[in-house]
Amino acid sequence: MSGSADNLVIMRSWPAPEIVALPHHGGPLSVHDTATGSLRTTAPGATARMYVCGITPYDAAHLGHAFTYLTFDLVNRVWRDAGHAVDYVQNITDVDDPLLERAADTGQDWRELAEREIQVFRDDMAALRILPPRAFVGVVESIDLIAEFVARLRETGAVYEVDGDLYFSAAEAPGFGSVSHLDRAAMLELFAERGGDPGRPGKKDPLDWLLWRAERPGEPAWDTPLGRGRPGWHVECSAISLRELGMGFDLNGGGDDLVFPHHEMGAAEARRATGTHPQAQNYLHVAMVGLHGEKMSKSRGNLVFVSALRQAGADPMAIRLALLAHHYRTAWEWTDGELRAAERRLERWRAAAALESAPDAAPLLARVRAALAADLDAPPRWPRSTPGSRRPWAGPEGTRPPRRSCATPSTPSSAWPSTADPRAGTGPPFRPARRGPRPARTTGSVTAGRYSAVRQVRCRYDDDAPWAGKGGP
């Protein structure tokens, strides 16, 4: 495989679904902010600015990705419903070690592989009626921008060289820790698990991170004022978000596997480069979707693809509903029952919507708006316990409404082992920085903005419970 800069294609986003305008406006959105560890009311101006970390396109989008992007779709829609315009930016990590490795392993051109998977992603997002970003920005098309940004960081004195590669010095990182609030031991552990290279000889501090990787034989590289090479991972998102949205944008987000190191290091870069902070007003992180006891991840291969479900005939709106049955801050596991339950729910809803007469929708709209504004509480909770809000169950006679069932597993869900990742673990003391999908952490959860070995509660809507269709207990 030879490196070249000849594929500077400007990314296209995907087509926007129709948005139904509702009467009046919803209220301000509150979400859990990782950086402060608290529920915060977002306060955008006329235009809300949102950046969300995009895919590494070496495989199709799985349900974990879809859950993450659907969460930000809710943010987008709640803001719009509250009367804001939304300027939404998403990146694509379209040059990356896992992508290059997958291409080499399968004898494909890495650009063709990326292009094909990006198109599958676009089709999936459009099918799920996820609102597209205004700017869907690839790394390859942003090489000059990122090189300029790294050069700016170097001017500030925060960058040094190891064998031609450029590193950001953690000691020069202003406010380092202000996003994740992790202690050093936890940082080191996660850095090693998620693409960092703490053991590389020649670094001043194990936590120093790669900004620019000099050309290696057989790897793509671009000519820049920094020399021939390609960008490190974190810097792509800080550079792209800074150009597209500036500093202090309203929300920076992704899955909770990105809290550290990705968002911590990106925030430090933006702050060092501009001398201002914060990079974002809120940091929103989505809990991981698992399958068979592990985080769903491309490197593990335990995946359920959105495209495969669609090809098998699943209604994309049932997939959307299945995902929306979970709250974004609770890790959960996909089972086939999730889709079956959502299909039944969708059928009931469609039948209800097709009825010739219906009660006044205003009270329901108010309740939906209030629930979404309060930390995106999309999962329906039936029956409502609020006096006067209880509705008769509309399902088949003899059945009862689905119930949210939550169970605390006997071991922390964080026990999803990372050893299944063939890329993790043993090997020579120094491995080049591994980027892209990072294996799940092994010892904790950062969904609450703090690193702690919490027991995750897994919840699901129990349409498939033994009592379903039998009248219930």
Q: Which residues bind ligand 5CA (CB under 6 A)?
A: 53-56, 64-65, 67-68, 91, 93, 237, 254-255, 257-258, 286, 288-289, 295-297, 436-437
Task: Answer with the entry of Zn ion, ligand 5CA, none that 288 interacts with (C-beta below 5 to 8 A by kind).
Answer: ligand 5CA
CB nearer to Zn ion: pick between 236 and 338: 236
- Considering the complex, state which of residue 53 and residue 158 has its C-beta at the smaller distance from ligand 5CA: 53
Q: Which does 3 bind (CB under 5 to 8 A by kind): ligand 5CA, Zn ion, none?
A: none
Taking phi over 0 as left and psi of -120 to 50 as alpha, with beta for the rest, 122 belongs to alpha
Cβ distance to ligand 5CA smaller for residue 42 or 93: 93
Min separation Cβ 20 and ligand 5CA, Å: 27
Which CB, 34 or 297, lies closer to ligand 5CA? 297
Q: Which stretch binds Zn ion (CB under 5 A): 138-146, 231-239, 328-336, 364-372?
A: 231-239
Q: Interface with Zn ion includes 265 (CB under 5 A)? A: no
Of residues 53 and 131, the one with the C-beta less far from Zn ion: 53
Decide which of ligand 5CA, Zn ion, none touches 195; Cβ closer than 5 to 8 Å per partner kind.
none
**Residue 190 or 339 having the CB closest to Zn ion:** 190
- Residue found under tokens 């000691």: 171
CB of 329 to ligand 5CA, least distance (A): 12
Kindly list the distances between the CA atom of residue 361 and the CA atoms of 60, 78, 368, in Å, as whole numbers in the listed order: 39, 18, 11
Q: 64 contacts which partner out of Zn ion, ligand 5CA, none, CB within 5 to 8 A by kind?
A: ligand 5CA
Q: Which is nearer to ligand 5CA, 68 or 445 (CB)?
A: 68
DSSP 26-74: ----EEEETTTTEEEE----SEEEEEE-----SS--BHHHHHHHHHHHH
Per rule CB under 5 A, is residue 239 in the interface with Zn ion? no
Q: Indicate the residue type of 332.
A: W
399: three-class secondary structure by DSSP: coil
Q: Report the alpha-carbon distance of residue 327 to residue 315 in Å, rounded.
A: 21
Give the DSSP per-residue string, 307-368: HHHHHTT--HHHHHHHHHTS-TTS-EE--HHHHHHHHHHHHHHHHHHTSS----SHHHHHHH
Span interacting with Zn ion, options 139-147, 232-240, 293-301, 348-356, rule CB under 5 A? 232-240
- What is the nearest approach in angstroms of Zn ion to the Cβ of residue 35? 16
Identity of the residue, 438 or 441, whose beta carbon is nearer to Zn ion in the bound complex: 438
What burial class does residue 76 get, using C-beta atoms within 10 Å of its C-beta: 0-12 exposed, 13-18 middle, 19+ buried? buried
The answer to whether residues 119 and 129 touch, using CB atoms and an 8 Å cutoff, is no
Least distance from C-beta 91 to ligand 5CA, angstroms? 6
Half-sphere exposure of 260 (CA within 13 A, CB side): 30
The entry of Zn ion, ligand 5CA, none near residue 82 (CB within 5 to 8 angstroms by kind) is none
Q: Would you say 178 or 413 has its CB closer to ligand 5CA?
A: 413
237 sits near Zn ion (criterion: CB under 5 A): yes
Instruction: Give the SS3 label for residue 393.
Output: coil
CB of 71 vs ligand 5CA, minimal distance in Å: 9
**Residue 262 Cβ vs ligand 5CA, minimum distance, rounded to whole Å:** 6
Residue 178 Cα to chain centre, angstroms: 20
Q: Of 3 and 232, which has the nearer Cβ to ligand 5CA?
A: 232
Q: Are 408 and 454 in contact (CB under 8 A)?
A: no
CA angle 81, 87, 88 (to 5 degrees): 100
45: which residues sit within 8 A by CB, 6+ positions away?
84
**How far separated are the first and last CA of the chain, in Å rounded?**
63
Largest Cα–Cα separation, the chain: 73
Work out what residue 257 binds among Zn ion, ligand 5CA, none; the CB cut-off runs from 5 to 8 Å by kind.
ligand 5CA
Residue 259 Cβ vs ligand 5CA, minimum distance, rounded to whole Å: 9
67 binds, among Zn ion, ligand 5CA, none (CB under 5 to 8 A by kind): ligand 5CA
Residue 289, binding choice from ligand 5CA, Zn ion, none, Cβ under 5 to 8 Å by partner class: ligand 5CA
Task: Please report whether residue 331 would count as binding Zn ion according to CB under 5 A.
Answer: no
Size of the site for Zn ion (CB under 5 A): 2
Q: Are 256 and 182 in contact (CB under 8 A)?
A: no
* Partner residues linked to 229 by β-bridges: 214, 222
| Per-residue tokens: 185 | 């031991």
Binding flags for Zn ion, 22-61, as an x/- string (CB under 5 A): -------------------------------x--------
Question: Which residues contact Zn ion by CB under 5 A?
Answer: 53, 237
